[in-house]
Structures are given as structure tokens and as C-alpha cells.
């Protein structure tokens, strides 16, 4: 395959003057190498989001294990509060993992982050409940979740940058779509296990020990992911940067000094993903069971069907973004959420199982237009020397403020407004902000990756 300069020549373009337009060469990469890159990126992200899925889907059970008996909503808010607090460390993690990834390499950062995530997830299964050690139970839970939040801060951004920098120039959207697909696959397995445990175990068994079983799976899955990653070379783009000794000593300072506009656009563009992902794919089973009165098994089943369809749609979106452009796809997603979210939540209140499944498929399909495009858009927005940092900081900042807090905010807004449509309006607000941000962006597809 030709390098990026050749691609530019074939497209009739040339590097523009100034540091923002130096092109990244692409070395010839074998199909086998790309296959292993895809596998490594998939597994690592899968492990991370499997944990988040299990925590979200079993939030009702976890609230009774780690918090003192009180009214149901207070315990649930406390559980989602721990979930949200673990996100507040993610911007710090974004800076640190971004620094490692842009200075020492994508491979180094990704190999370390998956170990931290797997160990922390495994430790959740070992924490005694409130009835055994009192207030130390929620404190330990919070500490482990903070470690998870820190390690997760480097995973999504790093895997996306890794894939984009290895992908053929005309298929970056499709390759990057592997990241949200692996995210949904982790959620899907979490949903399946939660549904299985809820159907096979009594409420007492689930509360005593059943909820711990999914967290124990993290250790072996993480070890497999690390093994695959350590057997890969770093990306051609980063290796060329390192060979030329062009890696910046302080990527964060370089990003704030030269790429502030890109950072603001990226942070705003991520907002729909941050809120939509956690409301539609993580919080929804709790919403269906706690707010609409559905049984736990039916709620998990509806979300499982929606997740399966989401995985299929996400690859189609990646292909479409390569063909039609990132900006057009992201704008379409935002407009659809602004117009259709509240009517969709009205239909959920019909309490008809088939209608609920169809609505979740619709919402998930709309979300894929954003989620399947966002990884390639963010990776292409920043040059190689600050790509990991720019992606990680913008993605984690938006997720820390609005993503991790989405289940908490949804529950709180319902309590404050006494309206079951409150989560829908929250999604509309997020879509509006993302729309404004993307309108200020330039198209990034079909262009060579930026290096300097």
C-alpha cells in the first residue's frame, strides 16, 4: 500500500504549510497484522465495558449489598453515585495515558491499562458487603471503581487511535467502529449474564453471591487481551514519529497551545455519545424495572435484543462514514435525537414488551450513527504527536461530567420532575450541544492523517 503522501498525490492534494498539515506516512501492513490489531483492540475494550455493564445492570442488587437499608431510590442513587464518582478521575487518566501513548507508544499504554482494569474488576468480586464490614464496604467499592475509572481513561481512546493508525486510508471509519462494537459486545455479555443470573437464582442467592460471578471473569479475559497486545508492534504512524524523534515531550501542553479549537469541538461532539450510551445501553434496564415496573428478566431481555442490533448497525455506520463523511453522520445523529427521543420515551411508557424492544432498537440505531463515526472523527481531528492525548482528554472530560453521571442524573431528574420523560429531555439537550460542536468542525474523512 502506498504511503499517505502518495494518497495525497492521488487525491490531487499536497501538504499545506504550517505544522497542522504535515502528513503521516502509511507503511505497508499485512492483513494478518491488521487482523491481530483488530482482535487486540476488541478484547481490551470488551473487558472494560463488560465490567461497566455488569455494574449498571446489577445496580439494584449491588445497592442492597453495599449500602445500608433505606428507601429504594436513595440506595439506587448512592450506587449510581459511586458509578459517577469513578468517572471524575477519568480526565486525569486521560492526561496520563495520553502522555504515555504519545511519548512511549500506543502499545505501551494499552498493555498497562488492561492490566489495571482487569485487576480492579476482579477485586470487586472480593469485597464484603455492608452487613459484614459496615461503611468500609462502600468505601472499598468506591476505591476500586476509581482505579477502574483511571485505567478505562486510556482504553477507548488508545484502541481507536491504534486502529485508525493501522487502517487503510479509505477504511478508517470501519476499522474504528470495532471499538464501539466491542463496547456493545461487553454490554451484551453483561446483559446476558445478568438476565441468566436473575432467572436462575433467587433474589437471596443473587444478593448473597450470584452478583459476584461476572466480576470474576475479568482476570482471565484481561490476561488474554494483554498477551495479544504485547505481541504487536506499535502503529506505523507512531513508529515513524519516534524514528524521526518528533514525539513531543509534553503532549498536553502542545495540545492546549496549538489545538484548543479541536479540543473544544471534540469535547462537545462527544456529549451525545456520553449521555446516550449510558442512558440507552446501560441505564435502560434499571429504568424499565424501577420506573416502568417491568420484571428484571424482561428488562434485560429487551436491552439484550437492542444491543445485538446495535452491534450490527455500528459496522454499517462505520462503512457509511467512510463513504459519506464523518460530519454528515454526526449531524444526522444529533438531529434525529433532537426530534425523536421524547416521542420514543412516550412509547416506552406503553409498557408493551414488543413496543419497548422496537423503541430500544430505534434509539440504539440512532446512537450508532454517532458512536460508529465518533472514534474515527476524534482520531482524525488531532495529529499523531497529540492524537492519544487529544482523544483521551476530550472523550474522558465529556464522559466524566455527563456520561458517568447520566444514570444518576436520569434517576434524580425523574425524582425532581416526577416525569418519566426526564431522561429523554436530557438526551435532547446533549444532542443539541453535540450538533453545535460538530457544525464548527471540518470534514476529516478521505484525508491523510495529520502528523505535526
Q: Could you tell me the CATH number of the domain that includes residue 82?
A: 1.20.1250.20
Beta bridge partners of 23: 450
Tell whether 379 is covered by a domain: yes
* Cβ atoms 183, 311 nearer than 8 A: no
Tell whether 164 is covered by a domain: yes
Tell whether 18 is covered by a domain: no
pTM of the model: 0.82
Q: Is 450 helix (H, G, I), strand (E, B) or coil?
A: strand
Distance (Å, whole) CA 169 – CA 123: 41
Q: What is the pLDDT of residue 51?
A: 77
Q: Is 89 helix (H, G, I), strand (E, B) or coil?
A: coil
First to last CA, the chain: 22
Burial string for 171-180 (b: 16+ CB within 10 Å, else e) reads ebbbbbbbbb
Q: What is the pLDDT of residue 17?
A: 35
Tell whether 83 is covered by a domain: yes
Q: What is the pLDDT of residue 70?
A: 63
Cell of 350: 406503553
Contact residues for 176 (Cβ-Cβ < 8 A; gap 6+) = 160, 163, 164, 167, 318, 375, 376, 379
Burial string for 379-416 (b: 16+ CB within 10 Å, else e) reads bbbbbbbbbbbbbbbbbbbbbbbbbbbbbbbbbbbbee
- Provide the Cα torsion 175, 177, 179, 183; round to 10°: -150
For the beta carbon of residue 349, count every other beta carbon within 10 angstroms: 13
Tell whether 21 is covered by a domain: no
Q: Give residue for cell 481531528.
A: 381
Tell whether 68 is covered by a domain: yes
Q: What is the pLDDT of residue 28?
A: 67
Q: Which residue, among 309, 271, 276, has the nearest Cα to 435 in the 3D structure? A: 271
Give the range of the structural domain holding residue 139, as residue numbers without chain letter.
32-229+253-439
- The count of residues in the chain is 452
Q: Which residue, among 297, 281, 267, 293, has the nearest Cα to 402 in the 3D structure? A: 267
Distance (Å, whole) CA 174 – CA 151: 25
Tell whether 356 is covered by a domain: yes
Per-residue confidence of the chain (452 residues) as pLDDT tens digits? 444 443 343 333 333 333 343 443 444 677 788 888 898 888 878 887 787 777 767 777 887 888 776 656 677 777 777 777 777 888 999 999 999 999 988 988 988 888 888 888 888 889 998 888 888 888 888 888 888 888 888 888 999 999 999 998 889 999 999 999 998 888 788 878 877 888 888 888 888 888 899 888 877 888 887 887 877 888 888 888 888 777 778 888 989 999 999 999 999 999 999 999 888 877 887 788 878 877 777 777 787 788 888 888 999 999 999 999 999 999 999 999 999 999 999 998 887 888 989 999 999 999 999 999 999 999 999 999 999 999 999 999 998 888 878 888 888 898 899 888 999 999 999 999 999 999 999 998 888 887 66
Contact residues for 313 (Cβ-Cβ < 8 A; gap 6+) = 364, 365, 368, 372
Tell whether 11 is covered by a domain: no
Q: What is the pLDDT of residue 452?
A: 63
Q: How far is CA 22 from the centre of its chain?
A: 29
Q: For the chain, how many structural domains are there in total?
A: 1
Amino acid at each position: 500500500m502506498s504511503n499517505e503522501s502518495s494518497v495525497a498525490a492521488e487525491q490531487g492534494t499536497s501538504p499545506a504549510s504550517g505544522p497542522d498539515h504535515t502528513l503521516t506516512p502509511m507503511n505497508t501492513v499485512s492483513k494478518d497484522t491488521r487482523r491481530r490489531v483488530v482482535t487486540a483492540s476488541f478484547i481490551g475494550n470488551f473487558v472494560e465495558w463488560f465490567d461497566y455493564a455488569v455494574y449498571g445492570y446489577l445496580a439494584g442488587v449491588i445497592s442492597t449489598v453495599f449500602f445500608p437499608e433505606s428507601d429504594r431510590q436513595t440506595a439506587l442513587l448512592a450506587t449510581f453515585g459511586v458509578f459517577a464518582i469513578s468517572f471524575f478521575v477519568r480526565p486525569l487518566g486521560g492526561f496520563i495515558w495520553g502522555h504515555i501513548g504519545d511519548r512511549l507508544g500506543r502499545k505501551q499504554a494499552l498493555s498497562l491499562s488492561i492490566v489495571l482494569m482487569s485487576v480492579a474488576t476482579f477485586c470487586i468480586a472480593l469485597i464484603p458487603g455492608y452487613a459484614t464490614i459496615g461503611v468500609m464496604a462502600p468505601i472499598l467499592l468506591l476505591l476500586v471503581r476509581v482505579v477502574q475509572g483511571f485505567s478505562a481513561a486510556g482504553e477507548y481512546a488508545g484502541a481507536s487511535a491504534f486502529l485508525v493508525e493501522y487502517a487503510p486510508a479509505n477504511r478508517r471509519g470501519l476499522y474504528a467502529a470495532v471499538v464501539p462494537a466491542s463496547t456493545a459486545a461487553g454490554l451484551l455479555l453483561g446483559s446476558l449474564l445478568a438476565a441468566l443470573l436473575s432467572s436462575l437464582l433467587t433474589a437471596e442467592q443473587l444478593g448473597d453471591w450470584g452478583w459476584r460471578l461476572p466480576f470474576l471473569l475479568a482476570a482471565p479475559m484481561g490476561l488474554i487481551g494483554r498477551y495479544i497486545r504485547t505481541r504487536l508492534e506499535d502503529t506505523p504512524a507512531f513508529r515513524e514519529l519516534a524514528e524521526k524523534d518528533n514525539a513531543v515531550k509534553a503532549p498536553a501542553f502542545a495540545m492546549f497551545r496549538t489545538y484548543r479549537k479541536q479540543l473544544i469541538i471534540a469535547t462537545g461532539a462527544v456529549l451525545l455519545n456520553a449521555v446516550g450510551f449510558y442512558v440507552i445501553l446501560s441505564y435502560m434496564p434499571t429504568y424499565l424495572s424501577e420506573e416502568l415496573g417491568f420484571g428484571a428478566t424482561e428488562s434485560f431481555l429487551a436491552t439484550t435484543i437492542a444491543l445485538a442490533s446495535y452491534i450490527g448497525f455500528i459496522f454499517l455506520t462505520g462503512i457509511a462514514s467512510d463513504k459519506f463523511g464523518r460530519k454528515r453522520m454526526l449531524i444526522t445523529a444529533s438531529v434525529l435525537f433532537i426530534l425523536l427521543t421524547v416521542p420514543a420515551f412516550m412509547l416506552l411508557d406503553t409498557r408493551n414488551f414488543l413496543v419497548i424492544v422496537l423503541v430500544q432498537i430505534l434509539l440504539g440505531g440512532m446512537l450508532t450513527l454517532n458512536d460508529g463515526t465518533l472514534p474515527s472523527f476524534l482520531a482524525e481531528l488531532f495529529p499523531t504527536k497529540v492524537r492519544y492525548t487529544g482523544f483521551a482528554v476530550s472523550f474522558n472530560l465529556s464522559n466524566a461530567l455527563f456520561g458517568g453521571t447520566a444514570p444518576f442524573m436520569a434517576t434524580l431528574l425523574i425524582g425532581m420532575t416526577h416525569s418519566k420523560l426526564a431522561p429523554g429531555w436530557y438526551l435532547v439537550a446533549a444532542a443539541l450541544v453535540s450538533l453545535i460542536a460538530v457544525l464548527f468542525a471540518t470534514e476529516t474523512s478521505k484525508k491523510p492523517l495529520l502528523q505535526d
